[in-house]
Amino acid sequence: MVRRVVITGLGVISPVGKTPEEFFSNLMAGRSGVKHLQTDFIEQLSIRIGAPVDSFNPSEHFTKIQLTGIERFSQFALVAAAQAVQDAQLELSATEQPRAGVYMGSCLGGASTLEDGYVQVFQRDNPRVKPLSVLLSMNNAAASHLSIKYQLQGPNVTYATACSSSAIAVGEAYRQIKHGYADVMLAGGSEAMLTLGALKAWEALHTLAHEDPNDAGASCKPFARNRSGLVLGEGAAVLVLEEAERAVKRGAKIYAELAGYDCSSDSSHITKPDADGQTRTMRNALHDAGLQPRDIHYINAHGTATLAGDIEETKAIKQVFGAHAYGVPVSSTKSMHGHLMGATGAVEFMAALLALQHNAIPPTINLHEPDPECDLDYVANQGRVSVKINAVMSNSFAFGGSNAVLIAKRFNP
């Protein structure tokens, strides 16, 4: 049994917006969420920029008692999910709850709780850590909180596949509905790893962007000749996926049809991206959607601004799209919201969905001198409006070679 899947609700907490409307408005305006980090450990960092979620007050969403058991990454997920559920006007009866589930992605889960525990034990010689440390830090905490809050009694799964975690969560949730195992799924990802330990680890890997000497917000430069690496961010995105007939029957607002998905592995190198693996994933997703390359009107690129990554993705797009590669707009919104790791795939898929809804394409900012090897239409510096968009693709290519591609198109009942 193969069924159609639609998106009926969106929610996001990001460095460039705390609602889908604010998020997309700021993307279209080219506003960067990259800035100097304001932390008490800033002097211990060599690279002092990031893309934090500013002005997020947990007490506006949770009681003091609740906050003892809900870590920052789970807070993000719960707030984004509340937006999505409200947006979808989703209500589940007792008989529907066993057919509804949640799939989320996260790389580090409760990173700050883990780090605090290490500090207490190894630095301060404290024999005790927070009693709820395991429950706060476990990667599946966010998904579990969503399952409990909304009584989602179907599948409850968390994916940890580095940068593709939440894209795979969305894609596998789509498959659950498509093949009849569920009728409704909450799907997305959440990450909050702007901690000293995580930032130092990324510094050691030498993949973080150097701060732009004139403007911290200009530090992430995908596809530019002078790009120097990625910028770590934090946040969450959650989508409501539904079986199409169910959504139509209840009169739901439908953003788009989630029409295609694939995940596959490069099987070549733990960090170096591979154009052939990315090519295979994009082609398989197009096949799943029943679309041709010419049918895609916008690609939200993985576009991390690493030296090798941007070139390999450009090669892969050319291999898949052929001559049409030069006619399809491609942009990296990471230039504005940074790399949200386990959450980034869902955040970027949401950007692509909103592009489809608004017939508008967000730019790749900070792209003033393109790399000659990156010669596609990257929508440099200024967004485009009144553009015909019927189908969009979102790429997520992760360390470990774990690739995921999502495709959405306008829904025709």
Exactly one of 145, 297, 337, 339 is catalytic; name it: 339
Q: Which two tokens stand for residue 119?
A: 């500090």
pLDDT digits (tens, 9 = 90+) for 313-323: 999 999 999 99
pLDDT reading at 212 higher than 90: yes
Measured torsion, CA atoms of residues 368, 373, 375, 376, in degrees rounded to the nearest 10: -110
* CA–CA distance, 231 with 225 (Å, rounded to integer): 17
Crossing angle for the helix pair 111-118 and 196-205, nearest 10 degrees?
A: 100
Encoded amino acid at 217, one letter = G
Q: How confident is the model at residue 238, as a pLDDT?
A: 99
pLDDT in tens, 118-139: 999 998 988 889 999 999 999 9
Q: What is the 3-state secondary structure (H, E, C) of the chain?
A: CCCCEEEEEEEEEECCECCHHHHHHHHHCCCCCCEECCCCCHHHCCCCEEECCCCCCHHHCCCHHHHCCCCHHHHHHHHHHHHHHHHHCCCCCCCCHHHEEEEEECCCCCHHHHHHHHHHHHHCCCCCCCCCHHHHHCCCHHHHHHHHHHCCCCCEEEECCHHHHHHHHHHHHHHHHHCCCCCEEEEEEEECCCCHHHHHHHHHHCCECCCCCCCHHHCCCCCECCCCCECEECEEEEEEEEEHHHHHHCCCCCCEEEEEEEEEECCCCCCCCCHHHHHHHHHHHHHHHCCCHHHCCEEECCCCCCHHHHHHHHHHHHHHHHHHHHCCCEECCHHHHCECHHHHHHHHHHHHHHHHHHCCECCECCCCCECCCCCCCCCECCCECCCCCCEEEEEEECHHHEEEEEEEECCCC
Domain boundaries, the chain: 5-249, 261-409
> Among the options 107, 145, 163, 263, which is catalytic?
163
Catalytic residue among 107, 145, 297, 302: 302
Report yes or no: 398 and 346 within 8 Å, Cβ to Cβ.
no
Q: 10: which strand partners?
A: 239
The contacts of residue 388 (CB under 8 Å, 6+ apart) are: 297, 359
Nearest to 402 by CA among 308, 303, 299, 270: 270
Residues 410 and 257: their CA atoms lie apart, in Å, by 6
Q: 39 exposed, middle or buried (CB, 10 Å; 0-12, 13-18, 19+)?
A: middle
- Residue 166: which of 195, 186, 181 has the closest Cα? 186
% pLDDT > 70, the chain:
100
- Given this model, what pLDDT does residue 319 score? 98
- 340-368 b/e with 16+ CB inside 10 Å = b? bbbbbbbbbbbbbbbbbbbebbbbbbbbe
Question: Is the pLDDT reported for residue 1 higher than 90?
Answer: no
Residues comprising the chain, all counted: 413
Which tokens is 326 given?
């030069």
Residue 69 predicted with pLDDT over 90? yes
Mean pLDDT of 277-306: 98
Summarize pLDDT for 151-173 with one digit per residue, the tens: 999 999 999 999 999 999 999 99
Query: pLDDT by residue (tens digit) across 360-377?
Result: 999 999 999 999 999 999
Q: Are 161 and 78 in contact (CB under 8 A)?
A: no
Q: What are the structure tokens assigned to 301, written together?
A: 């690129």
Residue 402: both structure tokens together: 């774990």
Q: What is the mean pLDDT of residues 104-108?
A: 98
Q: CB neighbours (10 Å) of residue 324?
A: 15
User: What's residue 398's pLDDT?
Assistant: 98
HSE-up (13 A, CA, CB side) for residue 304:
29
Nearest to 158 by CA among 77, 263, 91, 67: 77
CATH topology of domain 5-249: Peroxisomal Thiolase; Chain A, domain 1 (3.40.47)
Q: What is the pLDDT of residues 323-338, one digit of tens each?
A: 999 999 999 999 999 9
CA distances in angstroms from 198 to 111, 205, 211, 346, listed in the order given: 8, 11, 18, 21
Q: What is the mean pLDDT of residues 21-30?
A: 98
What confidence category does residue 265 fall into, taking pLDDT thresholds of 50, 70 and 90? Answer: very high
Distances (CA, A) of 85 to 39, 124, 411: 33, 43, 20
Beta bridge partners of 240: 9, 186
Does the annotation mark 206 as catalytic? no
Q: Do 261-409 and 5-249 fall under one CATH topology?
A: yes
Which CATH fold topology does 261-409 show?
A: Peroxisomal Thiolase; Chain A, domain 1 (3.40.47)
pLDDT at 197: 96
pTM for the full predicted model: 0.98
Whether 179 is a known active-site residue: answer no
Q: Is 339 a catalytic residue?
A: yes
